[in-house]
Amino acid sequence: MTHSQNVILIIDDHPTNLGVLFEALEHAGHKVFIHTRAQTALDVIPEILPDLILLDVMMPGLDGFETCRRLKANPATQDIPVIFMTALNDVVDEVRGFELGAVDYIVKPIQVEKTLARVNAHLTIRKLQKQLETKNAELDAFAHTVAHNLKNPLGNMVAYANYLTEFSETITSDDLAEFAQGIEQSAQHTINIVNELLLLANVRKGTVSAKPLDMAAIVGRAKERLVLEIESAAARISEPDVWPVAVGHAPWVEEVWVNYLSNGLKYGGRPPQLVLGAAPEGDGQICFWVQDNGAGIPAEEQPALFTEFTRLNQVRTKGHGLGLSIVRRIVERLGGRVGVKNSTAGQGSTFFFTLPGNDLTE
């Protein structure tokens, strides 16, 4: 089954109907499962989680109405669209089916073209519903993250300003300098968050043309942006003498390096020792990486690393849950992938990303 295939389950005890529907739906590119008994179908539905169910109303044992009721009562299956198939052209039965949660009715004998049209329409609706659910979840997480991470620096600035206002006549020059520095740091933290939000929006909607990358220059610019952090941490960073040529959008790739290097500086050893590298892979991609000497990442935390608006429990410096999720979005937009490897608690981590090699575009 390909990722684009929809899974459709037919529950019907009539062989003729099953054969016609199976052939038509498979020919249309869907993956089709068949069950002739409702009870056995109910047992497997939570495992296969079909995208749509075609359900006969009149069956021995459990009829279609009771089967639908049970599906809608189960949180794992309640959102699966159910289309009833019936030889009964009765308004009362149709109303009952809709009340139980069915999305449509098909009257037998089956008309293949009409059935396919209705199936495709409801599959499209279901796909859009899932996308909306995902976007709503992202929006909720986005709002929570932005509110949480902007609250701290903004709160700090307000507190500093209130103190300066209240004690303006008695505050010492040393305290004044300290508070001014605190306001500046909080403001810069706020600006950084806003800039990353703008970048995230640009990556989501922007269109770019991929070009051969001068990776040495890109890494150099990323290091220049982090020069204060590198110097204050006394970090040692090594990189290849020659970089293989990949293709991408240089400003976006620079952001990837800034995030990876920043992570290494924050979570590496003391002092941080970062090894940058690159090597071609067999699929025409080039793998780039940053290896640190930090504490490593527990296996249970690794799946959430590149998930939007999450942070690791082991964070020891202030951060926000955007950086690595932006890295993932950038690299995937450019045709690559991201990940972490060789990460064991206490033994450091290697964060990598891949980009198409220049040979793929020639």
Range name among 61-65, 102-106, 137-141 with the lowest pLDDT average? 137-141
Range name among 97-101, 217-221, 298-302 with the lowest pLDDT average? 298-302
Task: Give the range of the structural domain holding residue 50, as residue numbers without chain letter.
Answer: 7-110
Q: How many Å apart are CA 70 and CA 65, to the nearest integer?
A: 9
Position 136 in a domain: no
Q: Are residues 216 and 190 in the same domain?
A: no
Q: Are residues 197 and 243 in the same domain?
A: no
Q: Are residues 222 and 357 in the same domain?
A: yes
pTM for the predicted model, two decimal places: 0.58
Which whole number is the average pLDDT over 197-216? 82
Mean pLDDT, all residues of the chain: 86
Range name among 77-86, 89-98, 264-273 with the lowest pLDDT average? 89-98
Give the pLDDT confidence score for residue 208 in this predicted structure.
Answer: 80
Which whole number is the average pLDDT over 288-295? 93
pLDDT exceeds cutoff 60 at 318: no
**CATH code of residue 173:** 1.10.287.130
Rounded alpha-carbon distances, angstroms, from residue 175 to 41, 168, 178:
73, 11, 5
Position 130 in a domain: no
Q: Are residues 231 and 157 in the same domain?
A: no
Q: Are residues 179 and 237 in the same domain?
A: no
Q: Are residues 248 and 299 in the same domain?
A: yes
Q: Which of 179, 205, 231 is the last residue of a domain?
A: 205
**CATH code of residue 235:** 3.30.565.10
Contact assessment for residue 336 and residue 356, using Cβ atoms and an 8 Å cutoff: yes
Which whole number is the average pLDDT over 142-164? 83
Position 85 in a domain: yes
Q: Which of 205, 232, 251 is the last residue of a domain?
A: 205
pLDDT exceeds cutoff 90 at 122: yes
Q: Are residues 87 and 175 in the same domain?
A: no
Give the pLDDT confidence score for residue 1 in this predicted structure.
Answer: 47
| % of residues, the chain, pLDDT over 70 | 91
At 323, the pLDDT band (50, 70, 90 cuts) reads: confident
At 31, the pLDDT band (50, 70, 90 cuts) reads: very high
Taking only the tens place, the pLDDT of each residue in 180-195 is 999 998 898 788 778 7
**CATH code of residue 44:** 3.40.50.2300
Q: Are residues 215 and 355 in the same domain?
A: yes
Among 253, 206, 226, CA closest to 353 = 253
Q: In the chain, how many domains are there?
A: 3
pLDDT exceeds cutoff 80 at 261: yes
Per-residue 3-state assignment (H helix, E strand, C coil) for the chain: CCCCCCEEEEECCCHHHHHHHHHHHHHCCCEEEEECCHHHHHHHHHHHCCCEEEEECCCCCCCHHHHHHHHHHCCCCCCCCEEEEECCCCHHHHHHHHHHCCCEEEECCCCHHHHHHHHHHHHHHHHHHHHHHHHHHHHHHHHHHHHHHHHHHHHHHHHHHHHHHHCCCCCCHHHHHHHHHHHHHHHHHHHHHHHHHHHHHHHHHCCCCCEECCHHHHHHHHHHHCHHHHHHCCCEEECCCCCCCEEECHHHHHHHHHHHHHHHHHHCCCCCEEEEEEEECCCCEEEEEEECCCCCCCCCCHHHCCCCCCCCCCCCCCCCCCHHHHHHHHHHHCCCCEEEECCCCCCCCEEEEEEEEHHHHC
Position 115 in a domain: no
Q: Are strands 350-356 and 285-291 parallel, antiparallel or unpaired?
A: antiparallel
At 196, the pLDDT band (50, 70, 90 cuts) reads: confident
Q: Are residues 179 and 241 in the same domain?
A: no
More confident residue, 47 or 311: 47
Q: Which of 158, 190, 205 is the last residue of a domain?
A: 205
Position 296 in a domain: yes
Position 295 in a domain: yes
Q: Are residues 175 and 98 in the same domain?
A: no
Q: Are residues 330 and 235 in the same domain?
A: yes
Which whole number is the average pLDDT over 122-136? 90
Give the pLDDT confidence score for residue 344 in this predicted structure.
Answer: 65
Q: Are residues 229 and 332 in the same domain?
A: yes
Taking only the tens place, the pLDDT of each residue in 57-70 is 988 889 999 999 99
Contact assessment for residue 282 and residue 247, using Cβ atoms and an 8 Å cutoff: no
Position 122 in a domain: no
Position 60 in a domain: yes
Which whole number is the average pLDDT over 277-284? 93
